[in-house]
Amino acid sequence: MLIIFDVEGVLLNAEYLPVLAQVMGPRKEKEIWDITNAGIRGEINWEEGLRRRVQALRGISYEDAKKIGESLPIMPGAKELCSALKKADWKIIAVSGGFTIITDRLKEELCIDRIFSNELVFKDGKLEDVIMNVTSDKAAAIRPTIRQWDIRKEDTVVVVDGANDLKLFALAGYTVGFCPVDMVREKADVSIDKRDLSLLLNLLKKNFGEAVLINAASRKH
């Protein structure tokens, strides 16, 4: 079994760039939130929105960017969920339009097998640009890995919140909206409206059967 998570608003209980913008004051924070929310609702081209936000934050120090990235809270229930999935031998992928500066820590903290994200470029210790490894078509970034692992669509779950994540639904047999925007809610098989990822455990048992979360070690005996 495979589960694919979006990061900001799903595995992390925050959106990174608006929090980072607080360093530059309330006006800058509002500007970044306006672009972020327009992208989440699907109102603007996602790549353009990302470039605009990074350009608006040029000059922020690497130290501030890293410190804030490391301070973002993990979503309630995420550790419990990921721990149960790993014990049951699931593969876990996280795919983010965000940045390695916030996603690298999740590999260890949540035992994630593969993380796909973009990269902030710093020059002389100041934010300069972004390298885009993940576009608005997040599915394109992870398809080769799914093929390599040879995991079937019906054995794949996707958990997202924003309209820019919808292309990931094509990869999955079971789709979950997590505190989602309306566009995601309409297309998801099920939605969770409380910010607690552990609620997904019961939904997975209900959809796939209890056996899907049995500890892999005990299955071998």
Write down the pTM of the prediction. Answer: 0.92
Chunked into runs of 10 residues, the chain (221 residues) has average pLDDT values of 97 94 91 86 85 93 95 97 95 96 94 97 97 93 96 97 92 97 96 98 93 70 46
Give, in words, the CATH class of 16-71. Answer: mainly alpha
- pLDDT of the residue at 217: 58
Residue type, 72: L
Q: Where are the domains of the chain?
A: 2-12+73-120+131-219, 16-71
Q: What is the pLDDT of residue 46?
A: 85
Distance CA 100, CA 134 (A): 11
Residue 33 CB neighbours (<10 A): 16
| Cβ neighbours of 162 (radius 10 Å) | 25
CATH 1.10.760.10 fits 2-12+73-120+131-219, yes or no: no
